[in-house]
Structure 1
Amino acid sequence: MARTAGMECDLKTISKNNHHFPDTTISIAISTTEKIAGGTFGHNDLSYCDDPEDASIDESFMPVELRGKKWKTKRVLGEGGNFKVYLVASSDGLKYAMRWCRKQDCSTTKYGKNEGFQLKAASFMEKHLENTLRLKELIGHHPNIVKLIGFRKVNLFTQQIMEYIDGSDLHNFIEVNYFQKKRQIGIRKAQSLFCDLLSAVKHSHSLNIAHMDIKVENCLITRNGNLKLTDFDNAVRFQPGKKMNGSVYATRLYAAPETFNKEYKPACADIWACGIVLFIMLKQSIPWEVAK
C-alpha cells in the first residue's frame, strides 16, 4: 500500500477517495450504469419513484404479504453511482427503504443504439440482483445487518425493498457529532460500534459470505446508536482458507493490498476493511491518500 508520510487528511477527504476498481466479470454492469447518477437517472420530483400507470410489474421476489401494495414516496435517502434510495411507505403505512436500479443504460450517447449490448447488460444486472437476494436470504435476520426484504421489477427498473434505518451512515455520524465539533469519539463508543460491525461480519463469514465493500458509508447508525451493515451487492461466496483470483469491485481506500494482485482471501479482505473503518472512527482521517 502506498501512503503519504505524516498525512493528515480530514474526514471530508474520504468521499472523494472512495474510487472503485471494477471486476472484469461485472464491467458490463458498471459501464451501463456509470452515468445514471449524473442527472440522467431520473426526475428530481418524488413522484418519479411511484409506480407509473400501465407499468409492467413483477413481484415474484417479494414476500406474499407485500405483493400488490401501493407505495408512496416520502423523500430521497441517498444515491450512488448506479442507484437511488428512497424512503417509501406501503399502503398500510409501514416505512421501508426502496433502492432503485435501472436494468439498462439510459445514456443514448454511448450505448443507446446497441440493443444487443443493452439486453446483455440488463440480463446480467438482473441475475446479479437475484444473486444478492439469495445471499441475503442465506444471511437471514441479524441485529447488525440491514434486512433485505425483497425486490420488484418495474419496467426497466428493479426496486430493492429494505429495512428502513431512521438514522445516518457512519461517515455523517462522525462528521456531525465529532468532526464538526472538533472532538474525538470516545473509546467506549468506538468500541461499541466496532463490535457491532464485527458481529455482522462474523455472522456473514460463518455462512462463507464476504461483504467485499465494507466502508463507513455502508455502516448505518440507528437512533439508538447501534451499527448495521448494509449493501451486500458485491458480496461473494468463498471457501474457507482458499484464495480467489481475478479483479474485484471494491473501494480503493478500504481494499486489502492482496486484492490489487488479484489473488486474495475474501474474508481477510473484509477484516482489513474493518480496520480502516476503525482507523477513521478514531482518527477522523484516512490512513493514506493513495492505495495501490
Structure 2
Amino acid sequence: MMDKTFMETKGYTFKGTLGEGTFGKVVKAESIHLKKLVAIKIIGTTKSGSVNRERFLTQEKEIIRSLKHPNVVRTYDVFESRLETVYVVMELCPQGDVSKLIAARGALSEGFSCRLFKQLCLAVQYLHGINVAHRDIKCENLLLDTHHNLKLCDFGFSERLTYIDGKVVLSDTHCGTLHYAAPEILKNLPYNPKVSDVWSMGIVLYMMLMGSLPFATTNISKLVHLQVRHSISFPSASSVSTEARELIHRILHPVVERRITVSRMLESPWLLQGTVEDSNDDWATSASLGQRALPKKMLKEDEETSKSRSHDGQRQSLEQRTRECLTSQGVKNSKIKSTKEV
C-alpha cells in the first residue's frame, strides 16, 4: 500500500514505521519542504470495507484541512496516489500520548493534569466554535509534543454539525470507544455530539487524576447503570482536591441538560486557579506556546525513553480506527470496543 518512491516525489523521505492498523499505518518521514520530521498517516481506501468507512474518511479529509489550533495536531498536507491510498501529513509528537504516560507513571500530578486539561478544553472549545465535534476523545488521542503540550488528534469519527432553527441537528450515528462513550450514546438515543464530547472529557480528566477508569465494566448494560446512578467513587488514597472532584462530577452528569459546558469548565474554580504545581517542581517554559511544560528532570527522562514509545498516540489512534462507526443496532452488537479489547 505504501509507496516510498511516490512519497519522495511529494517531498517526503521515509524514516521508519510508527505503527500499523487494519486500514493502514503511520510512518515517520522527513519533509524536504518543511525541513523537519513529520508523521504521515497512510490509509488504503480499498480496504475500508463499508460505505460508512468511506463517508468518514471523506469527512475527516475535509475537516482536518480546516483545523488550526495550538492544541490540535496540525495537518500539513493531504494527497492521494493512483492506487487509492491517502497520505495525511501531520506534525510529529515525539512524547507519545496521555494513555501511555499514565500507564508508565500512574496518576498524573494535579498541577500537570490541570495544565493538560485546560489545553484540552481550549482545543474542544475551538472545535465546537467552528461546529466540529470530535466524537472519539480519549487519552490515546491526546498526543504530547516536545514540551509536553497536549495535541488532540484522530478525526476519523469527527462530524461537521448542522443547525435547523438555531438548534443543532442530533446525531444518530453511534461511534467512539466504550469506556469514554456517554450514556445517551450507549442507550442508542439521538445525541448532541458537542455534549457527548464533554462526557468523554470527564473520563479523560478522571484518568489523568486517578490513573484508572471511573466505570470499569465492559458490560454495556452495567456500564449504563453505573453512569446514570451518577455516583462517582474516588480512590481513598487519592489526595485530589475537592474542586477537581466537583468538576468531574459536573462533567459526568448523566442528564444531558445538566452536564457542564466547556466554557463553564474554563470558568470553574479548579481551572481558574491556574496550574497549581507542586512546590518542588522546576517547570520549564514552552517558548512556542508560552505555556508551562514538564519539570526539566521529567523532560530528560522522557527524552531517554521517547525512541521506544515515539508517537504511540498516533499508532494507537490508527488501531482504534479499525472499529466501524456504529449504527443504532451496532451498540447492541457490542461493536463499540473497550480500551482493553482494542
TM-score grouping bracket, smaller chain normalisation: 0.5 to 0.7
Residue equivalent to 2:99: 171
**1:131 corresponding residue in structure 2:** 59
Does the 8 Å contact 1:51/1:71 carry over to 2? no
In the alignment, the residues of structure 2 paired with residue 281 and residue 73 of structure 1 have an alpha-carbon distance, to the nearest angstrom, of: 34
Determine the C-alpha separation between the residues in 2 that align with 1:255 and 1:79.
24
Match for 1:173: what amino acid? L
- Counterpart Cα distance in 2 of 1:144 and 1:90: 22
Amino acid at match of 1:226: N
Q: 1:96 aligns with which of 38, 48, 53?
A: 38
User: Which of 272, 276, 284 is residue 199 of structure 2 equivalent to?
Assistant: 272
Percent identity, aligned pairs only, is 29
1:258 maps to which of 184, 204, 207: 184
Contact 1:241 1:265 in 2 (8 A): no
Offset at 1:81?
4.0
**Partners in 2 of 1:276 and 1:49 — Cα distance?**
39
Aligned residues: 213
Say whether residues 1:71 and 2:25 are aligned partners.
no
Once superposed, which parts of structure 1, at least 4 consecutive aligned residues long, lie more than 4 Å away? 123-127
Q: Is the 8 A contact 1:173 1:221 kept in 2?
A: no
Q: In 2, distance between residues paired with 1:101 and 1:156?
A: 9
| AA at the equivalent of 2:180 | Y
| 5+ long unaligned stretches in structure 2 | 225-342
Contact 1:132 1:233 in 2 (8 A): yes
Contact residue 86 and residue 97 of structure 1 kept, 8 A: yes
Give yes or no for the alignment of 1:229 onto 2:152. yes
Change in 2 beyond 3 A, CA 1:49/1:227? farther
Does the CA-based 8 Å contact 2:24-2:42 persist in structure 1?
A: yes
Q: Which letter does structure 2 place at the counterpart of 1:96?
A: V
**CA contact 1:218–1:229 (8 Å) conserved in 2:** yes
| TM-score, length basis structure 1 | 0.66
Q: TM-score if structure 2 supplies the norm length?
A: 0.57
Q: Determine the C-alpha separation between the residues in 2 that align with 1:102 and 1:124.
A: 15
Q: Supply the AA of the counterpart residue of 1:256.
A: A
Residue among 71, 79, 82 paired with 1:144: 71
In the TM superposition, what is the alpha-carbon distance from 1:218 to its structure 2 partner? 0.4
Are residues 153 and 250 of structure 1, via their aligned partners in 2, closer, same or farther at CA, if it must alter by over 3 Å? Answer: same
Give the deviation of 1:251 after TM superposition.
0.8
1:282 corresponds in structure 2 to: 209
Q: Does the C-alpha gap of structure 1 residues 90 and 161 become closer, same or farther in structure 2, counting only changes over 3 Å? A: same
Unaligned residue ranges in structure 1 (runs of 5+)? 1-41, 43-47, 58-66, 107-117
How far apart are 1:246 and its partner, in Å?
1.9
Q: 1:242 to 1:69 in 2, by over 3 A?
A: closer
